[in-house]
Chain A
Amino acid sequence: MRFTLNGTAISLDVVGTRRLLDVLREDLHLTGTKEGCGEGECGACSVLIDGEVADSCLIAVGQVEGRAVTTVEGLADGGRLTALQQAFIEHGAAQCGICTPGMLLAAHVLLQQAQRLSAADVREGLAGNLCRCTGYTKIIDAVLACAK
């Protein structure tokens, strides 16, 4: 099967029913995508499929045939952190870091989709991604710092 992964076209010989999460982590060694619950509740495994946030633990790899998949590894451009990644570091939005990849992707989409964002918009946009360390305040501050 073929799909675009972090901007690069790839072709893979895999069983289409396997979870996208496992193919990313085990076959492609992109371990930035995490498994927190395996049933679509925590968002640690969030990836972008054609620019939309999706739980890679609930998606069979066959479903991404011909589509564009972005993982946390695809955010930084040639090692240069994005403004959002920088803001996460500066505002203390990453503590233990296990929710951070999924949180970043969800926030990235929010910033792409809306010109202006309120704190309430950010809360709603990140409601599918659980964090147990920060109380969310610093994550929301980081995202708002990047909003226009």
Chain B
Amino acid sequence: MVTTSTIGRSVPRREGAAKVTGAARYTDDLVVPGAWYGKTIRSTVPRGRIRSITLDPTFDWSRVVVVTADDIPGDNVVHLIRDDQPVLAPKGGEIRHKEEPILLLAAAHRGTLEEAARHVRIELEPLPPVYALEEATEVFTTLEIRKGTVVDDLEEGVVVERTFRVGLQEQLYIEPQGAIAIPEANGAIKVIGSLQCPYYVHRALKRALKLSDQQAVVVQAETGGGFGGKEEYPSIVAVHAALLARKAGRPVRLIYDRHEDLAATTKRHPGVITHRTVVKKDGTLVSQDIEIVLDGGAYCTLTPVVLSRAAIHAAGAYSCPNVRIRARAVATNTPPNGAFRGFGAPQSLFAAELMVEHVAERLGRSSVDLRRQWMLRLGDTTATGQELTESVGAELVLDAALKACGTVGRSDGRTVKRGRGLSLVFHGSGFTGSGEKKLQGTIGLEALADGTFRILTASTEIGQGTKTIFCQLAADALGVGLDKVVLAPQDTSLVPDSGPTVASRTAMIVGRLVQEAATEVKERLKREKAPLRVEKSYIQPDSIHWDENTYRGDAYPVYAWACTIADVEVDMTTGEVRVTDLVTAVDCGKALHPVMAEGQIEGGCLQAVGWATIEEIKMKDGGYQNDRLATYLIPTALDAPRIRTILVENPYSRGPFGAKGIGELPMDGPAPAIIAAIHDATGVWLDEIPATPEKVLAACASR
């Protein structure tokens, strides 16, 4: 029998039927007999010291379990990059942000829990906080990228200097954070949760609860969106739930409501980015001098890695002989910022793309022509000195996007003005630098006695299609029908560590391992009988060189490319910006599943439209003022333009069937395209997003 490959075909999503019937079980849907409810008591001040914690003796505490820092058996550290973030603020220790967890409660009934929470007295000694990035003195990390020697000026040249600002953004997965911890035999604790990275949580549990590899078990439930928001934060929820369960000796559910999720969890790093660009009169790009400052918030979280991706993408998708990128991330007394789709690149590419516009304007040139003159081509080198040897799609996506767009309708009315803007971006697929080499992600593939196959991976399905695409890749390589392949549950007691589900790496890096393992299983089955199991780990190709100390070399295995064209309407009386049309051409290498690729791109684009236009977080005394869904707005179906995706297939030799990572790329392009479109419509340049009505009106008024 000949089995037809499903690669490049949009087969039904594996868990699609479960999701459309309500049968899919997310964390809070799971029934765990005997489970108590958990709650986190948090700091009300942005900075201070805990003087005392008192449990009001008039309340009956026998019905409640209380956990403080003193109940942590292991290290009081949320395990990640730096050991600066406590699981719970210790007595006498410094509180560094509002909503910082201090104490945990669990009870059989929600009512008891709320009552108990009202009887906890925490006495805090306030300390002077730092809110503004400009005033911050504590630096988490700095880095510098150098290529050639930047020049300040040029005879017969043009110099453009400009500063841009980008704001906080909430991931706003529709399912809030949550975890259920279940104590098991032999001191083991199982945590089931909404999460992207089972092994991050596994390491955090082992560290804080002093558990062995086997005693800590992490299982991903169906997960209602992540976007980076469930990369590192779930470690905190899981450790908290596990501490409560351990002390209570029974399962504990710790499910955040939306208000707590918005108020306490990580956001996209805000930043200030300054460019000084020098060009010749004919437009030749001579020098890019760039400074990036990101606000990390109160704790380090993943900030150094975010800063690194921001810096590497800061020069944009262009070839320049002389580049200097100086980047630093600072600490403020605001809730920690963390992973969010794009991971620093949307921030720095926003500035890079608008610089093209400003230089073009100074030269009196079309910015599209200037992009053609500057864009990276095969054989060019990036800011880190990486020579691009294959799959360079800048020109392909630019041509494809332009071809798909008609002419922009000009505004005739005085009140509503129309405009169009374009951006050209690239995004590195996979971990930065030596990340993949250090991690050596591993997957397993089993041939079972009944003739079916099972993929063992910690890579999670969070809506982007891991479950379907991995099965497609394995079935194709095995030469069997899709129905013969399943994905084992994302359970650390069953699956090896294939790395976190982040960094646009799942299809390209882990998918390739699935393909390799399936090929080997097929070969072995010619000589051996099932059951058998093959494991495959990532091996860095010899051609990839990266020097972490100098930031020189191959920053990423390959890049994906996108050109986005946005049409906007600006209401000149209200200042309201409406994105009416959005076309994006994406060089994805190969679309393994076109519908899912388009879906991911469209969702990413709309998230970027939100960031650029309406998603604003207002700060007050170190906390978020709009920490409810009634006040933090994301685009609805009415606000959203129809997004048209053009998939350009420009294969990458080491991706499965040529596929490159596209999870984050769509977050990069829309914001600068929208700001350019607003300029096209109104004649004013905004240097800051979101382009709220207030900012648009103020810019128009000061013109």
A positions within 8 Å CB-CB of B: 25, 29-39, 41-42, 44, 71-73, 75-76, 81, 85, 88-92, 94-101, 104, 119, 122-124, 126-140
Contact = CB atoms under 8 A, between A and B. Distances in A.
Contacts of A122: 637
Interface of B: 10, 12-13, 15-26, 28-29, 31, 171-176, 222-227, 257-259, 462-465, 595-596, 598-600, 602-607, 628-630, 634, 636-638, 640, 642-643
A81 B16 CA distance: 11
Contacts of B227: 132
Interface of A is mostly: loop
Given A95-B599, A96-B173, A139-B637, A133 B17 contact: no
Contact of A132 (B24, B25, B225, B630): B225
B224 A135 contact: no
Contacts of A137: 598, 602, 640, 642-643
B13 A127 contact: no
B637 A92 contact: no
A72 B26 contact: no
B10 A31 contact: no
Chain B interface SS verdict (over half): loop
A92 B13 contact: yes
A29 B463 contact: no
B630 A133 contact: no
A100 B628 contact: no
B595 A91 contact: yes
Given A44-B174, A71-B22, A99-B174, 10 more contacts: A35-B257, A37-B258, A41-B630, A72-B21, A85-B21, A122-B637, A124-B638, A127-B638, A130-B634, A131-B174
A100 B22 CA distance: 8
A96 B13 CA distance: 11
B629 A92 contact: no
A92 B10 contact: yes
Nearest to A128: B636
B224 A98 contact: yes
Contacts of A29: 31
B450 to A, nearest CB: 25
Nearest to A139: B637
Nearest to A88: B20
Contact of B257 (A38, A71, A99): A38
B28 A35 contact: yes
Contacts of A130: 174, 629, 634, 636
A96 B21 contact: no
Contact of A89 (B13, B171, B225, B629): B13
Contacts of B259: 38
A81 B598 contact: no
Contacts of A98: 26, 173-175, 224-225
Given A39-B630, A96-B462, A97-B222, A133 B20 contact: no
A119 B642 contact: yes
16 contacts: A29-B31, A42-B258, A73-B21, A81-B20, A88-B20, A94-B13, A94-B20, A96-B462, A101-B22, A119-B642, A126-B636, A126-B637, A130-B174, A131-B603, A132-B225, A135-B599
* Top-6 shortest CB links A-B: A32-B22, A98-B224, A96-B463, A97-B19, A135-B602, A95-B463
Given A39-B258, A124-B638, A96 B599 contact: no
A76 B462 CA distance: 24
A100 B24 CA distance: 11
B642 A97 contact: no
